[in-house]
Structure 1
């Protein structure tokens, strides 16, 4: 744990055609009531000139221009490699931070030590509506934001351990990054934070939710809900399942997982995204060597066995209203919960 009163914090903001959102984000970070920070804007070959406008308006920021779109993961990795701080924050460009957001996270860090931290995330456009009070990891690889869409009434007002810290705003130390490793560039975007938090948990590094640190998020300014977004979410969910569980664990849960996969196929069919799901399966075959190599790497570093982590996984997930109706979500969760409990009994026995 750092003993420097106000250690340098590097704020990494990855930009890709974020327009005025980027300017608003940087302006809010500058107003943070923590003085010892550097702002590193990494641009993924934007065509809207937002990064250049930002640099012109805020001369003190450090601008790193990638020659091509490297995706969320490698784009942020570029920023982390450029960072000079003892601590680092990955921050989306479609966010506005409150003045004391960073001080509150540091307060939590001083109590809990090295880990991955996220603030309370509220909607930028919906008044007092929650986007996340901590992200959670499900047995079958689904990641979800807790309390999403729920009115904010100061519920969950204690610092607590969560499944993984949201990549919308993720605080950690460079020391932790060195232990866990950088974001997995193969993922490109989506579930990158889930993967990072899962890898962290496997080596005994916890993730935390800090309720008194508050930011506001526009959410999905680039892809919205689309076939392309569903492809990345499902492709990376499958990748994480195949790389994070030991072969023994995967074998024990496979019968339940087959039924889950049938449900996912039906879901994609109902949404008109069947082509995206087919592309996912073809991508898994195409990248089997990448998957095998990542599996071996994770297994070699794993300290905490699957059984211990699985005990903490919730049996249900949250499905946003704009993805599935209330009745559909309830039915899905009922079946999912039964299958999760069944798989856990097999694994933990």
Structure 2
């Protein structure tokens, strides 16, 4: 029998998205599947919509909006399956999107997490910003994707159709073995949203697990379903959380130097926002740094027991993605030099 899989969609006031994308999920062709909608205390009628129209879908409700990270922690504590799939509510799926990923993960006990190819739902020839063909970090722990560097998103021509170990798998369609989820302690609730999947994957890798990209399955993501790119709060979360996950997961002899360098990179981003007249985003970067220091002791207590030297991880670019993109004008992952 195939391993049991639970596809879990976290919802908050997302009736419009559930109406559009839940039909494709319930048509999934997989023999040992349950579909769960975990509701983060919505005040629209999305829960009633699911219960009325999709009685085969299990609905679990949180007593308040816990955000993405803790919201999933609360819901998955109530779900039993061999594999969890954390699926965004704004993702369309084809019928056979689960089996290829599960088959890959079953082939190696060290594989804890994986993602399918993630393409843009509005133009399915393109990769999608949040995940593309797998996630990587540069030498200063700045995240980017195979198929997407900053705002340069590539058309999918089959250039990344190889099974590949990556640094992180996107939370838009994250497959994870339930035993690995429990071993690593789930998502970090203090991150609230954004980069929590990078933190999760980093902790898994520090435990000796692998994170993989599976090209034989693909899904179609709209993106920005909860917070779009024009929201300064998203900028705040991205900058703050990136610093927090570095503090938590880097070895002691690397963490101070890396964060010190990142402060200067972030300062350049702040100045860039100011020159563009985007003062709300500049202020968001500043607030991110203040909040990072405010949480320093709290985050320090969450440091993993073992930290592998950063450059020894698979999926780390041995140069700066900021320099490659803005100075060298490299827009495609395949044009990057160095071992990846």
With normalisation by structure 1, the TM-score equals: 0.85
Partner in structure 1 of residue 333 of structure 2: none
* Cα displacement (A) at 1:19: 2.4
> 1:157 aligned to 139, 155, 161, which one?
161
SS at match of 1:129: strand
Distance 1:24 1:96 in 2: 8
Aligned residues: 320
SS at match of 1:112: coil
Partner in structure 2 of residue 194 of structure 1: 198
Partner in structure 1 of residue 294 of structure 2: 286
Distance 1:318 1:91 in 2: 29
Partner in structure 2 of residue 76 of structure 1: 72
The question of whether the paired residues in 2 share the 8 Å contact of 1:88 and 1:173 is answered with yes
Partner in structure 2 of residue 135 of structure 1: 135
What's the Cα RMSD here? 2.4
Partner in structure 2 of residue 315 of structure 1: 319
The question of whether the paired residues in 2 share the 8 Å contact of 1:141 and 1:240 is answered with no
Partner in structure 2 of residue 87 of structure 1: 83
Q: What 5-or-longer segments of structure 2 have no aligned partner?
A: 331-336
Q: What pairs up with 1:51-130 in 2 under 5 angstroms?
A: 51-113=47-109, 114-130=111-127
Cα offsets for 1:226-249 (capped at 9, x unmatched): 211100101101111222112311
Q: For the structure 1 residues 9 and 310, does the alpha-carbon distance in structure 2 shift closer, same or farther, using more than 3 Å as the test? A: closer
* Cα displacement (A) at 1:287: 1.4
The question of whether the paired residues in 1 share the 8 Å contact of 2:7 and 2:85 is answered with yes
SS at match of 1:122: strand
Partner in structure 1 of residue 176 of structure 2: 172
Cα offsets for 1:295-314 (capped at 9, x unmatched): 2xx1x244x33342288335
Q: For the structure 1 residues 264 and 100, does the alpha-carbon distance in structure 2 shift closer, same or farther, using more than 3 Å as the test? A: same
Q: What 5-or-longer segments of structure 1 have no aligned partner?
A: 320-327, 335-340, 342-349
Distance 2:114 2:101 in 1: 7
* Cα displacement (A) at 1:177: 1.2
Cα offsets for 1:250-284 (capped at 9, x unmatched): 24446644432332332343432122122112212
More helix by share: 1
Q: For the structure 1 residues 161 and 260, does the alpha-carbon distance in structure 2 shift closer, same or farther, using more than 3 Å as the test? A: same
Distance 1:56 1:128 in 2: 35
> 2:23 aligned to 27, 34, 42, which one?
27
